[in-house]
Amino acid sequence: MACVKLGSKSEVFFLDGKTWLCSTGLASDVVVEVGETSFHLHKFPLLSRSGLLDSIIGELSSEDEQKGIVQLHDIPGGAKIFLLVAKFCYGVRIELNALNVVSVRCAAEYLRMSEEFSEGNLITQAEDFLNEIFSNWSDSIKALETCEEVLPHAEELHLVSRCINSLAMKASADPGLFSWPVPGKDAVQSSEGVAFWNGICTTAKPHLVSEDWWYEDVSFLKYPFFKRLIRAVEIGGMKPERKAGSIMHYAKRHLSLLGRQSSFHNGNRVAPFSTVPAASDGDQRTLLEEIVGLLPDQKGVTPTNFLLRLLRTSMILQASASCLESLEKRVGAQLEQAALEDLLIPNMGYSVETLYDIDCIQRILDHFMLMDRDSINYTSSSIVDEGQLIGASQPLTAITSVANLVDGYLAEVAPDVNLKLQKFQSLAAAIPEYARPLDDGIYRAIDVYLKAHPWLTDSEKEQICRLMNCQKLSLEASTHAAQNERLPLRVIVQVLFFEQLRLRTSIGGWFFASDNLENSQTQSGNLALARTEAPTRAGTTRDHVATVDMRERVSELEKECLSMKQEIGKLVKTKGSWNTFLKRFGLRLKSKSNAKKAPKPCKQNYEYNRLRD
């Protein structure tokens, strides 16, 4: 820490109880009272340095043997700083450092200790030392913290602004161009590049400093100073990411509830964040609302998980409606970056229905869809084919991620028996159909909800099943749905029907591939005349292996198709009224008498036998 000693005389002041005496050999002729402390001093040293004391003492009575009494109860810094001022007036050596120079400068201004009364007076000395302080990061931090003790005077003299501007300039600069001491920079150096010059160890390769090196130091500042510092670095052109990082670091230190939420990182317990003494809920609420207003507005600058933790803390502290709405909009703007566990916000209060705050997630999703609507022009009847989904643009990728996130969230909250069907439907229906390349996620959520709500009527079950598209279920999901007793029979039949269509399409694709394979074999046979014998044998072997694999796959698909037909037949036997529905889709089921007869070879068997021969 930088310091400077002023004066040349040895110590001549000593304390007697709460009275400071000056042992100069001359009787004291003036008493200065500062609070409960009194100073028995002499007029001449004080008059020669201070304009204020010169005017006050001059007005005192000059009666013989009567000491004048001067009261300076409102002097900046109190008795401790006035002692330094008195020593300076007597020419006694004093030490200026980062912890007292602000108060000394304010006291010197208060006492009018300018060059008008003495050359090299205290104002000049303090200003010269302040200029040295502002070139050092750590000393600037300490000087700024001491401004709070003499805040009105420090503001009037622009000392607070000067400290903040000094810190903002250093924080915004390129860390690789530092020319001032940085905390930890001297302690951590590279083990390589150590050289000696005249016996003095020097480091040729200094340790690299990261961009967040200043977060920890400024997190100890009082919020008004911290806020002004953030505004200053913003004006200086600092990147929004660095600004947001500093605010997050500050919030974790001072918001105790937020610090507790962040004590688990990546599933592992970490040491609790070092926090200041816990404040009242009112102070915490005020600080949280201030921090939310200080965060950058740019999308993606502040991590979504941090915003969601702030939102949860805001609910606990009962923050204002505007604060909650601001956080929900910020989360909605970048919802695709959220994690499922961060969305599981418990319901606060005593008169709540559901375990998790479904309404909050609904509002966040509505904000996302409102912002996303401008980038993607979609309607409820729009159709997006598979090719468009594969080559999706960035906004479509974002909405697809949100769709998966919402489906996972619905599966997590579905076991809650108090979750109303309307809320489940509203949240699921907010996602457009094209945003789900597959409907496995929404099917899983529906299945969990049906399991937790067995009292639903058939019409309600059919209503909730309309949220998914049976054509967009994977093979595993279709197999599960076909055997799911919780689903309405209409849905099961639809699943079986679309799965049969899928199998027919797959088989047709295999036959098309087999025709191409035969043609390629014929062409390769003609070209073999111009090739050597060894490559010909290798090509024939590969074609033979491909043909065998294709035959096995066709056989498996035929078995699956036959099994599907048998399942549909069983369902129709139990539910004869569904014959009309099946005929609408073009399915023809054999009667019981025809079922006993040997089945005629179908077109697939004929094509398969032709390929095998």
The domains found in the chain, sorted by start residue, are 3-135 (3.30.710.10), 357-376+397-513 (no CATH)
Q: How many CB atoms lie within 10 A of CB 114?
A: 16
pLDDT over threshold 80, residue 193: no
**Contact, 336 vs 398, CB < 8 A?**
yes
Confidence label for 118 from pLDDT (cuts 50, 70 and 90): confident
Q: d(Cα 37, Cα 58) in Å, to the nearest integer?
A: 22
Answer for the pair 303, 339: CB distance below 8 angstroms, yes or no.
no
Q: What is the mean pLDDT of residues 559-578?
A: 60
Give the residue with greater pLDDT, 567 vs 594.
567
Mean pLDDT on 367-377: 74
Residue 441 has pLDDT above 90, yes or no: yes
Tell me the pLDDT tens digit for each residue of 16-27: 888 888 887 788
Could you tell me the pLDDT band of residue 501, with boundaries at 50, 70 and 90? confident
Contact 487, 450 (CB under 8 A): yes
| pLDDT value, residue 117 | 84
- Of 95, 98, 237, whose CA–CA distance to 174 is shortest? 237
Average pLDDT along the chain = 78
48 pLDDT above the threshold of 80? yes
Encode pLDDT of 207-259 as tens digits.
Answer: 566 888 999 999 999 999 999 999 999 998 899 999 999 999 999 999 988 86
With a cut of 60, say whether residue 582 has pLDDT above it. Answer: no
- DSSP code for 201: E
Higher pLDDT among residues 324 and 206, named by residue: 324
Mean predicted confidence (pLDDT) in 575-599: 43
Judged by average pLDDT, the poorest of 207-221, 261-275, 535-549 is 261-275
Q: What stretch of H or E contains 14?
A: strand 13-16
pLDDT for 91 beyond 60: yes
The residue type of 429 is A
Helix axis angle, 223-235 to 240-254, nearest 10°: 170
**DSSP state string for 16-35:** ETTEEEE-SSS---EEEEET
pTM recorded for the entire structure: 0.74
pLDDT at position 600, please?
42
Percent share of the chain, pLDDT over 90: 49
Q: Per mean pLDDT, which range of 297-306, 434-443, 576-585 is the poorest? A: 576-585
Indicate whether 433 pLDDT > 50. Answer: yes
Averaged pLDDT, 350-365? 89
pLDDT at 588 over 50: no
Torsion sign over Cα 273, 274, 278, 281: negative
Which of 138-147, 237-246, 369-378 is the least confident region?
A: 369-378
| CB-count exposure of residue 485 (10 Å: 0-12, 13-18, 19+) | exposed
Using CA of residue 248, residue 253, residue 259, residue 264, what is the dihedral sign? positive
* Stretch among 152-161, 350-359, 479-488, 533-542 having the lowest mean pLDDT: 533-542
Angstrom distance (rounded) from CA 376 to CA 356:
30
Question: Among 318, 305, 207, which Cα is nearest to 261's?
Answer: 305
At residue 71, the 3 state secondary structure works out as strand
Maximum CA pair distance of the chain?
Answer: 141
Position 205, amino acid? K
Q: Which residue has the higher pLDDT, 191 or 477?
A: 477
Task: Report the half-sphere exposure of 248 (CA within 13 A, side-chain side).
Answer: 18
